[in-house]
Amino acid sequence: MFRSTLKVLQQSSLRVKFFGSIHNPLGSVVRAVLPDPSSVYMLRRWSLVRTPGLAVNMATSSSHSAVRRVAIFGGTHGNELSGVLLVKHWLKHGEEIARRSMEVRPFITNPKAVEKCVRYIDTDLNRVFDNQSLSGDQKGKVPYEIEQARKINSLFGPKGSKNGYDVILDLHNTTAHMGATLILENSRDDFTIQMCKYIQTSMAPESCAVLLIEHPGVKYATTRSIAKHPIGIEVGPQPQGVVRADILRTMKNVVNYALDFMQYFNEGTEFPPCSLEVYRVLEKIDYPRNESGDLGAIIHPSLQDQDWKPLNPGDPMFITMDGEVTCYEGENTVYPTFVNEAAYYEKNQAFAKTEKVTLMAQALRL
């Protein structure tokens, strides 16, 4: 493995200095460590590629402009009620989320779905923030959520522009046993990585996983993706159309820690380089199906409620009505999440398969 790593480093014009340092042509130091057992990222031609067992960190600081505008979205899915209740509360009691250095705007993103307490009216709002849907080129009647997406894009974007909101915190619930989860879309966004690290540290000893949904060649169409630094906040388990006090409290804490981080950053706090263990999505796994396309098996009891726990080769995944068990046949240990999520039955997803990855962020300062 070490020889192959050296070969990749040579291809990228990076010189290896032993004792764990790598020097790039610009003179800054890249620290290499060997964590166990995560996959991590290394620098190659100034882009990040996955290399098992090697973490690489540019030991320089990253300077960002102050955070001026933050939005908190609730009701992207109208039956995920923690975010709905919190945003409605903050619309009346904005002083609870006010921070003196920035505007913080709570917003109900899918009001019709919230009114009916359903996930969506015509289509999933959290999947239509792509360029085609936002462009307005479609002819004829447009689904309600696409109309709403265009409105949201005009208020908080436009997507990909310098005028977009700095940060959007998008609040979601899951029926899966995931606890508090932060959803990260960009492994190169030092600001958001540092914010996730701050939230994780502040939440301890309560766990707070980070799910990296980045995929090569994919431009995400999530509601929050119109911001410069989007982050999803997913908390569960909570049934659809129900509010649990413990889940709501956890979500409220995560939001406040995120706002505190941004306030400290705006006040000049410098955050040192950090590492962040995340779970990177590899593949979405469907349920076994019969010849009619109906469910042929369900989640095995030993996998149920085991989000973020290792799934090893040979471990049970599904069980049929007759007791026949389907086991995991992959070569490597993976970490399932969104296990048996109610909203994903329509999306033909039993769970998402992830791997552990360690991201490294530069020091962050104003």
Q: What residues act catalytically? A: 234
Nearest to 60 by CA among 90, 18, 24, 111: 24
Cα 208 from Cα 307, distance rounded (Å): 12
Cα 270 from Cα 71, distance rounded (Å): 23
Give the CA-trace dihedral at 151, 182, 58, 6, to 10 degrees: -110
Q: Which three-class secondary structure state does DSSP give residue 328?
A: coil
Nearest to 358 by CA among 283, 279, 248, 293: 279
Q: Which three-class secondary structure state does DSSP give residue 230?
A: strand
Give the C-alpha distances (Å, rounded to integers) separating 221 from 125, 142, 310. 9, 17, 29
Phi and psi at residue 226, in whole multiples of 5°?
A: -75, -15
Cα 194 from Cα 153, distance rounded (Å): 26
Nearest to 245 by CA among 81, 14, 34: 81
Residue 35, number of CB atoms within 10 A of its CB = 14
Cα 146 from Cα 340, distance rounded (Å): 28
Cα 338 from Cα 362, distance rounded (Å): 30
Nearest to 55 by CA among 37, 73, 74: 37
Are 316 and 326 in contact by the 8 Å Cβ rule? The answer is yes
Nearest to 254 by CA among 204, 309, 191, 308: 204
Spell out the residues 6+ positions from residue 105 whose beta carbon is closer than 8 angstroms to its own: 69, 70, 71, 72
Give me the residues paired with residue 23 across strands: 15, 29
